[in-house]
Amino acid sequence: MKIALFIPCLVNQMMPEVAIATLTLLEKLGHQVIFPKGQTCCGQPMTNSGCFDEAKNTTLKLLNAFKGVDCDAIVCPAASCLVAAKENFHEFDGSQEAQEVISKLYELTEFLHDIAPIKAFARPVAAKISMQMSCHGIRMLNLATPTEQMGKQRFNKVEAVLGNIAGLEIVYPARIDECCGFGGTFAVDEGAVSAKMGKDKAQAHAATGAKYVVGFDPSCLLHLDGMIRRQKLPIETRHIAQIINDAL
Amino acid sequence: MTELYTASGSKVHAHKADIFCRDETRVDWHSKALWALREKRDRAAGSLPEWEQLRLLGSQLKLHTLSHLAQYLEQFEQQCLSNGIKVHWASDAQQHNEIVHGILAKHKVKKLVKSKSMLTEECHMNPYLERHGIEVVDTDLGERIIQLANMPPSHIVVPAIHMKKEEVGELFHQQLGTKAGESDPLYLTRAARAHLREKFLTADAAMTGVNMAIADQGAIVVCTNEGNADMGANLPKLQLHSMGIDKVVPDMDSVGVLLRTLARNATGQPITTYSSFYRGPQEGGEMHVIIVDNGRTEMMKDKILAESLKCIRCGGCLNTCPVYRRSGGYSYNYTIPGPIGIAVGAKHDDTNSIPWACTLCGSCTYVCPTMVPLDKIIAHHRRLKAEAKRLPYGKGGYMPLVGRFMANETLMNTSMSAARLALRVLPGSLLKPFSGAWGKYRELPVAPESSFASWYNKNRSR
Amino acid sequence: MTNKHTILSALKQSALDQHAMPAMDVVANNDDLVGQFNASLNTVAGTLHSEGGLAALQQAVDELIQQNMQVISLLDGIKGNRQVPETAHDLADIDYAVIPGELGVAENGAIWVNQPSHRVTPFICENLILALAKDNIVANMHQAVKQVALQPGELGLFIAGPSKTADIEQALVVGAHGACSLNVYLY
């Protein structure tokens, strides 16, 4: 397939290794990958604060970067940004062209589960990993059934994708999908509560004895990384793309 | 942090939360106690294969009722009247308090026993009646504890959840004469039972909230575990019940659905100990129902906010909320804390900060037994505050700058590469003072050498 | 305008779309209703006596009376040692009240009780005894609310176990303001 990468500003500037892993793994899977120029912020920091006017310019610039791009799918390694992009594109541009972009947007896990499943992994990854089930991926993108939801029909796309990697042991922290406390500007507006949530989450991950905290939302991972190093906990953060790339 | 205080002296949520968080042991204790309720809820809800169907039914029947509310309120009133129940209407808290006082004054009531009612808290009824010389005795154990301690409730179902048993023991020792140093919950509960038994037997009138008002029956349903509402309502000959307009449901079938989810979602019990249906006064007595608006019809004018009125006050959203559990019930600048408190209280918050006491994680929305879209409502409140130019935490000043910065690739690339460089070469101790709340609580990120875009240009550009 | 008219006319500006009432088609679990009821009653801290019927109940009441307990019975055929008093307040020293239960609910152990002579009887007694016919147990609340009926002026209620509270540090204490124990006799 022909894939356009949507690399959110935070990943582009602060976590390029996540974007590189995403690009590389998609290429290894035989896809043609392009990186359209002119990508800006999806507007989430502003719209999550209620400031829609302030978000409009950057959101539309990002949308324009994908309009008319010849591709089958637009893939993003950040669940929260993807959700915001979808909502904000819809909010600010009701055109058919915008709708075409929105309909091609996929979060990486979602893409690898729903659209182009991985047939086989080439290499084992001998590690115990503790999954960071970030909120927007779980509760807005349906990557897994949230723990609040009852009933027998449960799914977990993250585990379904990673489950076939030989040597990988997947575990979960206590209070599996309780928020890690990042929450965008919440991390600074509500510093004390955000930090306490992050500390609790980091300790829950470390208590599993896993080598890595693995997640699909880079912003949560960045926050957890800061908490883990502050607490000097024996665990490190990895993005799901890095684990998958290692296994291909 | 700017704008800590408003002119009226209220403090932003973050400030109160920061103080709450200073005692970490207590935060852990508080968070754990509430999470235990969430776990009990999960077990109770999970034991019913039809749980998600019940949530959907609860949501649909509430939406149906709300979209035909005038019709159901009128039907409820007519049925009440034919059952010998007197019905009063109050547009706001002041009218509610005046109506209640009028009824009590007419009967020369000196002592009123009251069971839990968030509406009377919302109306600040107790102080009003006390100013008029009426003794108001809260009879729910948790409510009695906080009344004796002169505090408001910190949770809508377990109002004294923030207090440790030793603190309750000391309070009861001072106020009820229990043994000093005694903090056993059984002993303290028995002492409260004896103390309040005397109040029930000597009360002149009783007041309760209303969990559901059944339109086609002209009956109200009151749910308690302790039996305090019924001990009150059935001893003195005068009973009063206050209800928001959102409490009405069409029929018994609706009650059947909501009674299945209410207690399970609140405490994990299959149903509360007592679910009492009152369809008229006792022999020789009087029964009054006061129907209160107090801002609810205003919420109905906004399609998103209107869904807050589906709430049945189970408290499940508080128990699951990671922010509430770590900031406590007194940090919200409103009588009702937690996600539902933000939904119904944001417009009253003069610090404008409570819509931001939330990470938009969405757990509350999935927990809610009537599917109130709490995260969407909270996000909507943020937008309403922004449109009204009432943003907290200096956002009104910096958000336009962030918006322009984010939309400007060149500016962003230059300044971020400078920031990465600073993070790599300067010692953390030098940077931390400039990194604000991020660096106060967390280590600063390990900065990469270049952005992905630069890497891509070098490695993939054709 | 009266308050009522102010409120009702404000509702005309509601932004909500019209929603239809949903169909309540919940599948009931009808397996072993007595067994389900027993399990549910246990979780709400009540005790079930499923053998011996009303004779066992009378025997239990007789033993209580021998222990100098004050027992009032509102159930035909069961004799206590106290009559229904003039005023409700005179029930304050009742140790045990025996009251007929009309309907049991298997999913939650609740029992529908309607209109004892003084409404406060099931709450003010120190201990509560309910009698319930085996055939009057339904699976769930959807079925229960269809079978219970209230006349004007009545108080009817679902009772699930003895009164309880967990308001002090979430520690469950049985016996708050209402009865401190609930025994249910099936017949």
Q: In chain B, which residues have their Cβ closer than 8 Å to the Cβ of A150? A: 42, 45-46, 48, 51-52
Burial class of C171 by CB neighbour count within 10 A (0 to 12, 13 to 18, 19+): middle
Q: Which helix (H) or strand (E) holds C141?
A: helix C141-147
Chains that touch C (3 or more CB pairs under 8 A): B
Instruction: Give the right CATH number for B1-47+315-407 from 3.80.10, 1.10.1060, 3.30.70, 1.10.3470.
Output: 1.10.1060
Confidence of residue B3 (pLDDT cuts 50, 70, 90): very low
CB atoms closer than 10 angstroms to residue C74: 19
- How far from each other are the two terminal CA atoms of chain B, in whole angstroms? 47
The DSSP code sequence of B235-303 is SSSEEEEEEEGGGEESSHHHHHHHHHHHHHHHTS-SS-SEEEEEESPPTT-EEEEEEE-TTHHHHHTSH
Assess whether chains C and A touch, using the rule of 3 or more C-beta pairs within 8 angstroms. Answer: no
Confidence of residue B412 (pLDDT cuts 50, 70, 90): confident
Residue B259 confidence (pLDDT) above 80: yes
Residue B1 confidence (pLDDT) above 50: no
Check CB contact of C89 with chain B, cutoff 8 Å: yes
Residue in B361, B366, B460 nearest the CB of A149: B366
Q: Model confidence over B354-370: pLDDT tens digits?
A: 999 999 999 999 999 99
Number of residues assigned to chain C: 187
Q: Cβ–Cβ of A149/B52 closer than 8 Å?
A: yes
Check CB contact of C148 with chain B, cutoff 8 Å: yes
Domain range list for chain B: 1-47+315-407, 54-297, 409-459
Confidence of residue B462 (pLDDT cuts 50, 70, 90): low
Search chain B and give the residue with CA nearest A219. Answer: B445
Q: Model confidence over B314-331: pLDDT tens digits?
A: 999 999 999 999 999 999
CATH code (residue C127) = 3.40.50.10420
Q: Are B364 and B374 in contact (CB under 8 A)?
A: yes
Range of the domain at C108: 31-186
Euclidean distance between CA atoms B309 and B245, whole angstroms: 9
Residue C8 confidence (pLDDT) above 70: yes
Q: In chain C, which residues have their Cβ closer than 8 Å to the Cβ of B291? A: 7
Q: Cβ–Cβ of A14/B27 closer than 8 Å?
A: no
**Nearest chain A Cα distance for residue B451, angstroms:** 5
Euclidean distance between CA atoms C112 and C103, whole angstroms: 5
Size of interface B-C (CB pairs under 8 A): 267
Q: E strands along C39-167, which residues?
A: 47-49, 71-73, 96-100, 103-105, 111-114, 127-132, 137-138, 154-159, 164-165
Search chain C and give the residue with CA nearest B82. Answer: C152
Confidence of residue B2 (pLDDT cuts 50, 70, 90): very low
ipTM above 0.85, yes or no: yes
Kindly state whether residue C167 falls inside one of the protein's structural domains: yes
In angstroms, what CA-CA distances link A6 with A22, A71, A79, B405?
10, 12, 11, 19
- What's the half-sphere exposure (Cβ side, CA atoms, 13 Å) at A90? 9
Looking at the DSSP bridge assignments, the partners of residue B292 are B90, B244
pLDDT averaged over every residue in chain A: 97
Q: Are C143 and C136 in contact (CB under 8 A)?
A: no
Q: In chain C, which residues have their Cβ closer than 8 Å to the Cβ of B38? A: none
In angstroms, what CA-CA distances link B236 with B16, B126, B229, C46?
42, 19, 12, 29
Q: Are B377 and B308 in contact (CB under 8 A)?
A: yes
Q: Model confidence over A127-138: pLDDT tens digits?
A: 999 999 999 999
Confidence of residue A175 (pLDDT cuts 50, 70, 90): very high
Euclidean distance between CA atoms B37 and A167, whole angstroms: 37
Q: Cβ–Cβ of B442/A223 closer than 8 Å?
A: yes
Q: Which residue bears the tokens 């926050």?
A: A223
- Name the 3-class secondary structure at B228: helix
Confidence of residue B434 (pLDDT cuts 50, 70, 90): low
Looking at the DSSP bridge assignments, the partners of residue B112 are B136, B205
Query: Averaged over B178-206, what is the pLDDT?
Result: 97
Chains that touch B (3 or more CB pairs under 8 A): A, C
Q: Model confidence over C119-162: pLDDT tens digits?
A: 999 999 999 999 999 999 999 999 999 999 999 999 999 999 99
Q: Cβ–Cβ of B385/A50 closer than 8 Å?
A: yes
Q: Model confidence over B8-41: pLDDT tens digits?
A: 678 999 999 999 999 999 999 999 999 999 999 9
Q: Which residue bears the tokens 């010849």?
A: A70
Assess whether chains B and A touch, using the rule of 3 or more C-beta pairs within 8 angstroms. Answer: yes
User: Which domains, ranges and CATH numbers included, belong to chain A?
Assistant: 2-115 (3.40.50), 127-247 (3.40.50)
Euclidean distance between CA atoms B369 and B310, whole angstroms: 9
Interface of C with B in 99-138 (CB under 8 A): 105, 107-110, 118-120, 122-124
Check CB contact of B43 with chain C, cutoff 8 Å: no
Stated pTM of the model: 0.96
Q: Model confidence over A9-47: pLDDT tens digits?
A: 999 999 999 999 999 999 999 999 999 999 999 999 999
Q: Name the domain count of chain C.
A: 1
Which residue, C76, C127, C54, is CA-closest to C97? C127
Q: Cβ–Cβ of B70/C173 closer than 8 Å?
A: no
CATH architecture label of B54-297: 3-Layer(aba) Sandwich (3.40)
Kindly state whether residue C18 falls inside one of the protein's structural domains: no
